[in-house]
Amino acid sequence: MNPEDVREEWAERTGEFSPTYYAHKGPNEASESVRELLEHFLDHEARVLEIGCSSGRHLAHLHDGGFENLHGIELNADAIDVLREEYPDLAADATFHVGDATEILPEFDDGAFDAVYTVETLQHIHPDDAETAFDEVARVTDDLLITVENESARGAGAREDADVSYVNDEFPLYHRDWKAIFEERGFAQLLSESSERRDRLRAFRRP
């Protein structure tokens, strides 16, 4: 897949792994972990951005916890429609940007957000777009950065050292060393934990 193919796959996704699919699942372990970290390091007035917010289940969990200044970027326009139906209070209070994060992030000022987080989003960015995208993620993050991403291949016949694997033989997951990527961009890693699934949560702050 080239970068445009990857974007189109997610912009038009239906069925499994679609916005409706995730909305019906509600908050999960990642939702809890992100909220706990934000509550520990920041106050409820913090400017928080989720990149790849889908239908909003993680942001909704933050909203329910009292966070007031919430923002989301989402490639799939249908996801925001689902969000408005499933989480009307969040939709009324938060700000959403529909489109490719690599095109939207440059619109923000340096350090525009106190916290930026991603849940299984950066892993889908094509290598051709990766360096610029990660530069932008770092640039707009003023303090706390959280990643919850798949970092290695799993399953029958999978190679742990593979750079890419495919979900249902359809779309790619790019496995990366997020510690190295964001330490190179001026962050210090505070936390690294594996989840009950195959994700790894990492938290970073600027020194």
> Residues 87-109: pLDDT tens digits?
999 999 999 999 999 999 999 99
pLDDT grade for 6, boundaries at 50, 70 and 90: very low
- Tell me how many degrees the CA angle 5-195-145 measures, rounded to the nearest 5: 65
Mean pLDDT of 129-141: 98
Whether the pLDDT of residue 13 is over 60: the answer is: no
Whether the pLDDT of residue 175 is over 80: the answer is: yes
> Residues 14-71: pLDDT tens digits?
554 455 555 556 688 999 999 999 999 999 999 999 999 999 999 999 999 999 999 9
pLDDT grade for 159, boundaries at 50, 70 and 90: very low
Q: What is the pLDDT of residue 199?
A: 87
Distance of CA 79 to the CA centre of its chain: 14
CATH architecture of 3-205: 3-Layer(aba) Sandwich (3.40)
Average pLDDT taken over every residue of the chain? 86
Say how far apart CA 188 and CA 207 lie, in whole Å: 6
Q: Which of 6-10, 25-29, 138-142, 170-174 has the lowest mean pLDDT?
A: 6-10
Position of tokens 């972990």? 33
pLDDT grade for 164, boundaries at 50, 70 and 90: confident
Specify the 3-state DSSP secondary structure of 71. strand
E runs forming strands in 128-198:
141-150, 164-167, 171-174, 188-194
Provide the edge-to-edge strand list for the sheet that holds 141-150: 95-98, 69-74, 47-51, 113-119, 141-150, 199-205, 188-194
Where do the structural domains in the chain lie, given as residue ranges?
3-205
The terminus-to-terminus CA distance of the chain in angstroms comes to 37
Which residues make beta-bridge pairs with 73? 51, 97
Which residue in 31, 37, 30, 195 sits closest to 115, CA to CA? 37
- Ordered alpha helix ranges (H), the chain: 3-11, 19-25, 29-41, 57-64, 77-86, 88-93, 101-104, 127-140, 178-183
